[in-house]
A and B are shown apart, each in its own frame.
Chain A
Amino acid sequence: MEFMDQIFVNLKSTVLTLAGGFLPPWAVILLCAAISLGVIAVIGPVTMMYLTLIERKVLARMQNRIGPNRTGPWGLLQPLADGIKMLTKEDIVPKNADRIVHLVAPILIVIPALLVFAVIPFGKNMIPADLSVGVLYFLSISSTTTIAIFSASWASRNKYSLLGGMRAVAQMISYEIPMVLSVVPILLVTQSLSTGAIVRAQGAYGGWGWFVFTPWGFAAFITFFLCAVAECNRSPFDLPEAESEIVAGFHTEYSGMKFALFYMAEFMNAFTLSALAATLFLGGWQGPWLPSWAWFFIKTYALIFIMLWFRGTLPRFRVDQMMNLAWKFLLPLSLINILVAGFWHFANPPLAIGGSIAMLWASGWIFTRLNRDYTPEKRTYLFGE
């Protein structure tokens, strides 16, 4: 058990010990960093490649289809085939496009998506860089995606792209606020911004002390997850690339590998945001029986599955409704949730549980009431003879 749990850590230290036999100490430190970097550089794109396959398979099953199954067993080589196709496609740049920005935007969008892998605790002792400001680092790096998306849309000189870019900016900035605020209760309780420390704080009750089991943790998890779905532009918040309305949104004018980079960034964001949600609320690698890294991947992929499930079932929001949800519901709820977390921390257990559930329920009810115009109407249909 312990062996399986630490197998990757031990592997790395063995390599480093062996290398230490004939390399100077500074080279060993470089090698240590290089191994972590190499692993991230491989995991990121491979995750993206296989997420496309998983998405297609899962959606196909939801839609009474089989999904890709021609390339390799269960279509396992499909991502490779797609990659080759993307690489060999013609790279088309519109005549009036801003060529430099058009080229740089897809690169800019991938870099933050890869950078945030650094603070994700993949397992016990398996965090590439346990920064003391890990969560802050993650949120600030991932927020730069907005710039890349907007420059892509602006540089394309296409009206659909422009509309998509406008939507993307409005959406991502709006949803960042409740997302950051929903993380605040966690920071209050754990008194740390380090992702490693946050996971260790959830180790109570034999690995079951996940924050999602507390009332404020649950509310924050829902808020965070909805915002995460909106942040990586996935259904039902896929307005920036709404196929039925604005063709492909901000990446309408991209083809070949540039387009693939947008896709890569989107899927890696989906993965890292799910991983962060799992880290903050679902106990990260904490859990009984299985190795820590197995728990981490199970939780992350469960959240990704929920994202795919959304995509397979839900229609899309309209722009104003999407903004309403962020500003009128999620933002006040996450603000109140900070108070609730403080109340939970200082009140005695029975009062804390009852009081915080009551506060959250009441505020949720009030916010739903305030947005009454958006609740469905009941209608009666007459029949003519």
Chain B
Amino acid sequence: MTSEPSRAGAPSVLVFDEARISYRTRADELNVVPGFSLSIGRGEAVGLVGESGSGKSTLAFAAMGYLGHAGRLVSGRILFEGEDMAGLSAGELRALRGLRMAMVYQDPMSSLNPVMKAGAQLMEVPMRRLGLGRDEARERALAMLAEVEFADPASILERYPHQLSGGQQQRVVIAMALMSEPALLILDEPTTGLDVTVEAAVLDLIGALRHCHDSAILFISHNLGTVARVSDRIAVLYAGELVEEAPAGELFEAPRHPYTRALFNCLPGLARHAAIEGDPPSPGARPEGCAFAPRCAFAKPGPCTSEPIALRASGERRVRCVRLPELAPWTLPVPAATTARAEPPTDRILDVSKLTKAYRVGSPLFGLGEGSRRVQALDGVSLWAGRGETLAIVGESGSGKSTLAGIVAGLELGAEGVVRLNGVPVQHLKVEHRPEALRRGVQIVFQNPDGTLNPSHRVGYALARALRRLAGVERRRLPAEVARLLDLVRLPRAYAARKPRQLSGGEKQRVAIARALAGAPDLLIADEPVSALDLSVQAAIVNLLSELQEARGMTLLFISHDLALVRYLADRVAVMYRGRVMEFGPADEVFSPPFHPYTLTLLSSVTARAEGQSEGAGEGPEGATLAVGCPFHHRCPYKLGSICRDETPPSREAGAEHRIACHIPLGELAAIGASSEEHGEENRDAP
């Protein structure tokens, strides 16, 4: 594996040649990237996929010559347009940045200067770097904003970043990066943290821009699906090492490396019991030989664990695996059969009807009358779950799904409507005031693994306390019971002595699940339990939850923003948008036509167009509240007309237990659904 594998004809814009990158810490030097080679040709889009800690962002910043004080290129070279970046002076480097190379990264809100108007930030590149006058710079900014699909660029120029929605901010950042037509555009997780539909729009935009500009793109993401939508070629990174690189089509047709294959198996909705056990190694503790060997189903002690593994090239593909010739050809895992329950549930453990809740949101600093406005978190929400079922609530941020969970659990109080648990109305009871039996019956597994466990308490204490409070376990039996809980979530018993900071994200979530199960609840609420975890860890947690739900016959309320994730998990699905239930019904009915247009948006790539227009109209996902009309009307591609804006849509019965809130008659919805499913299939082949 020497020097760059040069692409036929096209001279390389960016070349990593055995780049080895380390960070100095107080204790010693951490080798984050042990040796990385990749080249990106002119106008080419290369996707770089890896989990957190895989070194992908390090590589991006290394390409920009921006590793900070602690980081450095230990050996190897990084060539930009043929020039060795290490040999550039600070001035020469500065001359490249912003003009020849530009970067967009995660969290657009914080990448824009909060006290400068968007226009001033956009115009900086042409004015300060290209030496253009104010008027000319303004012209350029306007043109570029129009190109990133803003309907009214002039108004965007005058806005401060906080006055833009997340999708708008990211489009401004992308426009800013393209102002000087750079030879290389690095996109580091540009859509992470954005809502699914907004993400789709931004991805489509990037795809479209590629064809009008001849910038090469390095697209970095933790998400294979995201990368696939914009890349010609994909490189998969594991623990700082390139494990596989291939043209996008080839890779999706037949991933070779066991890690790549495992990632494919983990893609939400594809299969059920395909989790990768364990966690990726931290840079300080990279194992000898193949870094993936400890988690690899095909690893063989000896060849896989002793020597560094070389990359093998065949055609346009490179793979780092010694056992490659012995591996069986890859087959797409067969989606597990939907676990359709034979008999319908006997009773409704949870029954929510016409639940409405509004917040007053003030200006955060002073909480005064003027800045505050009413936000309708929940607006007439009705849904239910049968005993022993899994109910999935799906929606983007601002849909009210977490508010709903909070009210069910008694963490906050609902304003109007009824929530019944086992037939008892509880919406007016805070958890502190609920009868003990009721309180024990509902537990939550939270989203953020970092906040879910108290950092001051050991795992053993957290579990013991839960056992005492929720199950009334006697003091002397506590250690045995704690051990039993740890076994249940497949954690070593010794973990009882650990503090949360000694656990990985997935392990923390397992402890949180154990804690919630201490009192054998009837209803377990899982509020986005995996959305903050790495893909390879997600599947294991989802599987665990699903198995425990089945084994214990408890009801699982699974909250997620990802419709695909819940597909094979849920018995019943509620799709929420801005505080309203758009569609509610048994899972197999929700996942087949007729669809609510919003469900369809979530399911397919129709999203992009719809989002593009609506965002251009200046409506963020948390826009104004509305008392009447359909909240989805200004993003809906199938909008009928003013009726959608002015009248609350009727709840149509699409089946015995299947409701769709839409003005469009069911027959038409079924037709729309059927036609787009055909399209969808095409897209689904390359997820």
Q: Do A and B bind each other?
A: no
Which residues does A use to contact B, with CB under 8 Å? none
Residues of B bordering A, CB below 8 Å: none
